[in-house]
Amino acid sequence: MKINQLKPGEKILFGIFGLMLVFAVISFIMLEIYRSRLDHPMYPTTTQFDFSAEGKIGSRLFRERNCTDCHRAVRNGTNHGVVLDGIGSRKSVDYLEKFLRHPESTYETKTVDHGLNKQAAYVASLPDDEIHALTVFLSELKATQGSADARLPMRERSGFVDEMVKLWAPSAWKSEYHDLRQEAGQNNPKENH
Ligand code: HEC
């Protein structure tokens, strides 16, 4: 079909699509140029690791035992599965070892992949020393306090969060749950009259 056989409405429509495409390509190129000139990563890194000797063995097993088919950690593995970077800041060593051996009773509900007869059921039957090395590896994947991967909130006490808790948290919560910020050593200045 020749361009002058198109109806005016079609020309406008294709014109708009064409402009959007050109805009997207130019933006992408500009972003990549900007990124290549930065001397620091564009987004701050919020997870870190410092492996012990056993953690390093676990890191190797993490790849060799195909955990990377479904998980990502330390820039290895897939993006479509569960990311385990930072898990050592959210879960204890005990929990992690128990999860690897008895996934569903530890998870307290059915798992997608780790339970009996599931694709990752083999994990529970790995030899003890391998499970242990994997646990050490996982527990050494830490997250910066206050980042989305961390269990504890940011160090500074946030007035905004205080207001939100005051407005929305039912008073029963105060007796049922404890405030993680107290664990992080952040007492509310207003409560210490
Ligand atoms: C077939 C995919 C698959 C494989 C292989 C796999 N996992 Fe998982 N894993 C999952 C999924 C999915 C979850 C989320 C829980 C669920 O529903 O199964 C998970 C959860 C986890 C968790 C988090 C538990 C929690 O409470 O947050 C850990 C730790 C873990 N896997 C470790 C491993 C290790 C170590 C290996 C290799 C020895 C491994 N996984 C192999 C799919 C897999």
In a structure prediction context, what are the per-residue pLDDT tens digits for the chain, which is 193 residues long?
Answer: 566 788 999 999 999 999 999 999 999 999 999 999 998 888 888 888 999 999 999 999 999 999 999 999 998 888 777 899 999 999 999 999 999 999 999 999 999 999 999 999 999 999 999 999 999 999 999 998 888 888 888 888 888 988 998 899 888 888 888 888 887 777 765 554 4
How many angstroms separate the CA atoms of 97 and 151, rounded?
Answer: 19
Distance (Å) from CA 114 to ligand 1 centroid: 6
Residue 67: the pLDDT is 95
Ligand 1 and 138: CB distance under 6 A:
yes
Q: What is the pLDDT of residue 3?
A: 63
In whole angstroms, give the CA distance from residue 171 to residue 165: 10
pLDDT at 192 (0 to 100) = 46
Residue having the nearest C-alpha atom to atom 40 of ligand 1: 67
For residue 137 and ligand 1, the question of a CB distance below 6 A is answered with no
Residue 181, Cβ neighbours under 10 Å: how many?
19
- 22-29: long-range contacts at Cβ-Cβ below 8 A with a sequence spacing of 24 or more? none
Kindly report the number of other CB atoms within 10 A of residue 51's CB atom. Answer: 15
